[in-house]
Amino acid sequence: MGRGYSIAVVGATGAVGVEMIKTLEKRKFPVSRIKLLASHRSVGKKLAFQGEQTPVEELTHDSFKGVEIALFSAGAARSKEFAPSAVKAGAVVVDNSSAFRMQEDVPLVVPEVNPQKVKDHRGIIANPNCSTIIMVLPLWPLHRVARITRIVVSTYQAASGAGASAMMELQKQIAEIGEGKRPGVVVLPHQIAYNLFPHVDVFLPNGYTKEEMKMVHETRKIFGDDLIMVTATCVRVPVLRAHSEAVNIETEKKLTAGEVRAILAEAPGVKVVDEPGKKLYPMPLDATGRDEVLVGRIREDISRANGIDLFISGDQLLKGAALNAVQIAELITHA
């Protein structure tokens, strides 16, 4: 990658921000200087990077002087407020929030799918929704071969998708129930321990949640195909980390289960785990901490001529967020 780059991580103390820092180090991203930015509440904290304890600074509009790439993971409101200041200061922003994803002049990038779009940016590149990334990674190679016409997806989303506080709430509720106490519900809309609910993000007038419609609109934009029909049901489950998805697709060209396995075996960022006879299939426990998205339960849909069923698990904090953002940053250094 050549020379080192001046990097800022916005939302550095959050679950995704912490993983961004770890991923930069793990992938040996060429960093000459790193600025860790967060709200005033986190000022004074120190986070490890390349063997040193780096202090967290307060995020302000003046934080980006000399920064070349800014990785944002602080939520849509903070991105809308501070990303323009980063761009004005000369940085390229890789934004993990929903703030800019559907803007026409903002590329929405999954590096294994549409890396060429990185060159089209005007200062901001959007990281897609975690559930969308985990789904499109294995579907893209199938789309290229047989064109997917319809996607039906049900997600099983871990507490990590709602942030570090939701992960702690799940752990706390399990402990409270184990002690015979009534579990406290603060972060998530309902008790998540020993429960699940079909409610991720806010509900919209059409009956879908915002999360579900993200999967619809973002998939079309990433694939560059507005004719794909997508319907989603997003469910929060009592898993600490890593999302799973049951996906049914219909294709223009018939694909057999064997052909799907062969295509996915060669797909970047994907690992086929599909030996049900040996009880081997994707599980969030196995996907946690892994860069790859696990795909299995591959079978032909007995109800549709050109249908395929898949089950997917991927680490929401890695490929669903931090890893994808750092991969985009790597593309920027080559652009």
Catalytic residue IDs: 130, 243
CA distances to 30, 110, 138, 293 from 132, in Å: 28, 10, 11, 12
At residue 137's C-alpha, the angle toward residues 136 and 143, to 5°, is 65
At residue 162's C-alpha, the angle toward residues 290 and 267, to 5°, is 30
With residue 149 as reference, give the H or E element that holds it.
strand 148-157
Distance CA 126, CA 25 (A): 22
At residue 158's C-alpha, the angle toward residues 19 and 198, to 5°, is 145
DSSP state of 221: H
Q: What is the CA radius of gyration of the chain?
A: 20
